[in-house]
Structure 1
């Protein structure tokens, strides 16, 4: 992607995030987002097929940057690194709370971001497992280890999205949510409540 395309992408991401904070992304048109970004409709289609696709790309760009930070330093203590990036993800959700409240909802215009977040968390877990920074220590006689690992990453991912959805419906601050979340995690996941890095 050249510098011009990068600038257009940044403007489109900023525009869709602003507009989606005000109303459901299903109500946004390509023309509205392009006008907000100050680009032509044809430029919009160079980056996304629809406002919903653009919104997911904008959110994932922020989430991917956080994951890259987690995976870049392989000398950091894993529980501390995982807890730190979890806090950063929650702050990302908090910044875009209006978008996530709608996107994680169960109504006719909600739910579109559940799969996006779940897939992101699953991929993070998979990369941690592949790098041997996390080990799934679960006994399931007769079930292949790779199947158990896959089920475990799905369990963590969808459970985390559920926790976030519940958090957005309440009034806990990030630190209190981290305490509750850590207590809910299985003991083998690196941010469990028994680890010193999760104690306040």
Structure 2
């Protein structure tokens, strides 16, 4: 991507994150984002097909940055904590994307990132993986999908509760997780 396209994408991401903090994503328009970003609708549609897909893209970049902690820790809770710190920092944005569940592109972005983190965690710590998952790729995909979807559901409930205690949320999510992830 050339420098101009990168600047446009970053302007659009910044605009959607700012506006989505005060306007529900279902009410946010491409035109409003363009006005705030100082860009045209043509530029918007070269980078996203809707405000919610742009929001998911903007959040994805932040989630990816938060999850870089995983290879540098010995506790999966550190990854959970980093993710929840991101969610708390963007709580208004996430709440504005819920009706009553997170909008599909945003939910998918979170789930995809958690899946990638769990797969990385299992690769970094192969001794934790039960033999029935270690020897069958389909079984491992099921375990990862289950854990990722459950974590997103837990995050949605945490957002609804308006409780900003990250440590409590980490403890509750880990307590609900299969124990082998925690070894």
In structure 1, what is the Cα distance between the partners aligned to 2:40 and 2:103? 29
- Which residue is equivalent to 2:171? 179
Q: Which has the higher helix share?
A: 2
Q: Alpha-carbon deviations, 1:58-85, whole Å to 9, x = none?
A: 00011112234424x4xx42x2xx3222
In structure 2, what is the Cα distance between the partners aligned to 1:53 and 1:111? 9
Within-5 A mapping of 1:40-59: 40-59=40-59
Does the alignment pair 1:169 with 2:137?
no
- Which residue is equivalent to 2:94? 100
What is the TM-score when the length of structure 2 is the normalising length? 0.85
- The CA deviation at 1:115 is 2.6
Within-5 A mapping of 1:82-101: 82-101=76-95
- Answer whether contact 1:102 1:111 (CA < 8 A) is retained: no
Does the alignment pair 1:121 with 2:96?
no
In structure 2, what is the Cα distance between the partners aligned to 1:34 and 1:150? 39
In structure 2, what is the Cα distance between the partners aligned to 1:104 and 1:84? 26
- The CA deviation at 1:121 is 1.1
Classify the secondary structure of the residue corresponding to 2:130.
coil
Classify the secondary structure of the residue corresponding to 1:22.
coil
- Answer whether contact 2:17 2:55 (CA < 8 A) is retained: yes
In structure 1, what is the Cα distance between the partners aligned to 2:37 and 2:175? 43
- Answer whether contact 2:30 2:44 (CA < 8 A) is retained: yes
Classify the secondary structure of the residue corresponding to 2:115.
helix
What is the TM-score when the length of structure 1 is the normalising length? 0.79
- The CA deviation at 1:116 is 2.5
Does the alignment pair 1:151 with 2:148?
no
Higher CA-based Rg: 1
Within-5 A mapping of 1:58-69: 58-69=58-69
- The CA deviation at 1:56 is 0.4
Q: Alpha-carbon deviations, 1:7-31, whole Å to 9, x = none?
A: 2221111100111111122222211
- Which residue is equivalent to 1:198? none
- Which residue is equivalent to 1:133? 125
In structure 2, what is the Cα distance between the partners aligned to 1:132 and 1:176? 26
Unmatched 5+ stretches in structure 1: 196-200
State the number of aligned residues.
Answer: 179
Unmatched 5+ stretches in structure 2: none
